[in-house]
Amino acid sequence: MQRVLEPEAMDTAEEADAYAAMDHREANEAFVARLFALGASGRMLDIGTGPGQIPLLVCARDPAARVLGIDLSENMLRHARCALAASPFAARIEYRRGDAKALALPEASFDTVYSNTILHHIPEPTPFLREARRVLRSGGVLLIRDLFRPATREAAEALVERHAGDATDAQRALFRDSLCAALTPEELRATADAAGLGDAELSVDTDRHMSLQLRAAPGGA
């Protein structure tokens, strides 16, 4: 199946509301568990934070974590800021509008850089991966998880039925479009190598998720 691009930002209120209403908790908790298994700590950057659910899970798990979440969509950030205001973590989490492909952030300024399912929104993801590497300090943790594109439309529909069978039509459409817009593991490997992430491990984690990751260097170097 050929890649079918979708909009880079979910910037309408309807799209953001539909996404924020979906139940991502199980997948998000698995993502956070992987993040800390890799040795995540310190100052963290969440690229494409969406409705801001993962920074809340990170700060609940690590009382020393500080997270900057960026997103291109103001409507997603509206959800993130509302959730933050109702949480006990307002002093440790900040949200800003930003472009993953051109981060207005200093080089090597984060101990941990992560991103959850935004790669498929970016038509040409090499600049995004290059920027993620640039702002990560030497020896820091990187985790970029995304969907991967099924081989056929039929396989994509089967995943929609399996994982979004009880969702609304709009939510099912969002998931279907995301699957069709995702890279394959082979495409991600080639893109990561071109972006200077040849040392990052690529793993296929579930029937729909893959990850690109760097573990913390021994001794926190």
- pLDDT (tens digit, 9 = 90+) per residue, 108-137? 999 999 999 999 999 999 999 999 999 999
* H or E element that contains 66: strand 66-71
| Type of residue at 205 | D
In a domain, 109, yes or no: yes
Query: Each residue of 62-84: b (16+ CB within 10 Å) or e?
Result: beebbbbbbbbbebbbbbbbebb
In a domain, 5, yes or no: no
Mean pLDDT of all residues belonging to the chain = 94
pLDDT in tens, 194-203: 999 999 999 9
| pLDDT surpasses 60 at 220 | no
Task: Tell me the helices (H) and strands (E) count for the chain, helix number first.
Answer: 8, 7
Count of domains forming the chain: 1
| Type of residue at 215 | R
In a domain, 129, yes or no: yes
Q: CA torsion, points 96, 98, 100, 102, in degrees to nearest 10?
A: -130
Strands in 43-47's sheet, in edge-to-edge order, are 93-97, 66-71, 43-47, 110-116, 136-147, 209-214, 201-204
In a domain, 4, yes or no: no
pLDDT in tens, 11-58: 788 888 878 777 788 889 999 999 999 999 999 999 999 999 999 999
**Using an 8 Å Cβ cutoff, are 28 and 116 in contact?**
yes
| pLDDT confidence of residue 13 | 81
pLDDT in tens, 161-181: 999 999 899 889 989 999 999
In a domain, 6, yes or no: no
| pLDDT surpasses 50 at 207 | yes
- Positive/negative CA dihedral, 85, 87, 89, 93: negative
Structural domain harbouring 43: 13-220
| pLDDT surpasses 70 at 221 | no
In a domain, 30, yes or no: yes
Tokens 């309807």, residue located: 14
In a domain, 119, yes or no: yes
d(CA 221, CA 136): 12
d(CA 155, CA 163): 12
| pLDDT surpasses 50 at 3 | yes
pLDDT in tens, 134-147: 999 999 999 999 99
Q: What is the CATH number of the domain that holds 204?
A: 3.40.50.150
| pLDDT confidence of residue 7 | 77
In a domain, 20, yes or no: yes
- Arithmetic mean of pLDDT, 180-197: 98
